[in-house]
Amino acid sequence: MTGPAGAARSTGARGFGIDIGGSGVKGAPVDLDTGALAGERVRLPTPTPSTPEEVAKVVAEIVGSFGWTGPLGVTVPAVVTHGMTRTAANIDHAWIGAEAEVLLREMTGCDVTVVNDADAAGYAEVQFGAARGHHGLVLVTTLGTGIGTALIYDGRLVPNTELGHLEIDGHDAEHRASDAARDRDDLSWERWATRLQHYYRTLEKLFWPDLFVVGGGVSKKADKFLPLLELQTPIVPAALRNEAGIVGAALLAAGGDSKR
């Protein structure tokens, strides 16, 4: 695969990223200079039950299929602090309080960095995607079953912001403004945009970002709703889409952010 437009020439440095989701576990080697996948992505079903031990076996299978032994980045739909998963979204509740990095290190034999999935995707968008070359504060949101967020300042990730759970008008924001809420309430693009307007305007007032990036599967239809928003902050669709988590995890595991 070729890297994103304008990406640097590759020196051959590689990393490896795994993206754990509610339905699938995806992984591939990543060219760290260009942000392109350096091999065919492998996807296996997320096991049922999706306990840490069972998911770790799937991660080990994917990593082993490439013969990878270097640093490994793994995303999870959870808050992650000091290698421990503190929450669990769309995955078994056994992840709450799990020593995820220790378990995955034992199962794979790799030096493992575990990160929140939205943080990984957001970091990738800043390095190689829609926010590449933008300085200052970038706020990446993923609109899906919930709302994931990543806050990056001058290329440095501030992890676990969880801004999809802001309380706005007495409601958890993602319960009103996520893509799942659009489906659940059978909203037109215009009616959904009204909810998004309220959400993004609240973020704008709190953080005054230099750029919003909107990810998630619905970002492929960004032309249906982004032009309906009236914000002071520029807002653009994500570029890396389904590969963002893998790329961001690999970058962070390779030391892409010294704050982690």
Q: What distance lies between CA 64 and its chain's CA centroid?
A: 23
Question: 167, 191, 179: which is closest to 143 by C-alpha?
Answer: 179
Helix (H, G, I), strand (E, B) or coil at 143: strand
Please tell me what DSSP assigns to residue 72. Answer: E
Is the pTM higher than 0.85? The answer reads yes
- Which segments of 143-243 does DSSP mark as H helices, in order? 173-177, 179-184, 189-207
Does residue 145 have a pLDDT over 80?
yes
pLDDT digits (tens, 9 = 90+) for 159-182: 999 999 999 999 999 999 999 999
Fold of 134-238: Nucleotidyltransferase; domain 5 (3.30.420)
1-16 average pLDDT score? 63
Instruction: Parse the chain into domains and list their residue ranges.
Output: 14-119+243-253, 134-238
Q: Quick one: pLDDT band at residue 10, thresholds 50, 70, 90? A: low
Q: Is the pLDDT of residue 25 over 50?
A: yes
Average pLDDT, the chain: 94
Interior angle at CA 249, CA 238 and CA 8, nearest 5: 65
Task: Please tell me the predicted confidence (pLDDT) of residue 5.
Answer: 40
100, two tokens: 């995820």
Angle at 211 between CA 210 and CA 217, to 5 degrees: 165
Tell me: pLDDT of 259 over 50.
Answer: no
| CA-derived radius of gyration, the chain | 18
pLDDT value at 6 more than 90: no
% of residues, the chain, pLDDT over 90:
91
Confidence of residue 59 (pLDDT cuts 50, 70, 90): very high
CB 46 within 8 A of CB 24: yes
Domains 14-119+243-253 and 134-238 share a fold: yes
Say yes or no to pLDDT of 8 above 90: no
CATH of domain 14-119+243-253: 3.30.420.40
pLDDT at 83 over 90: yes
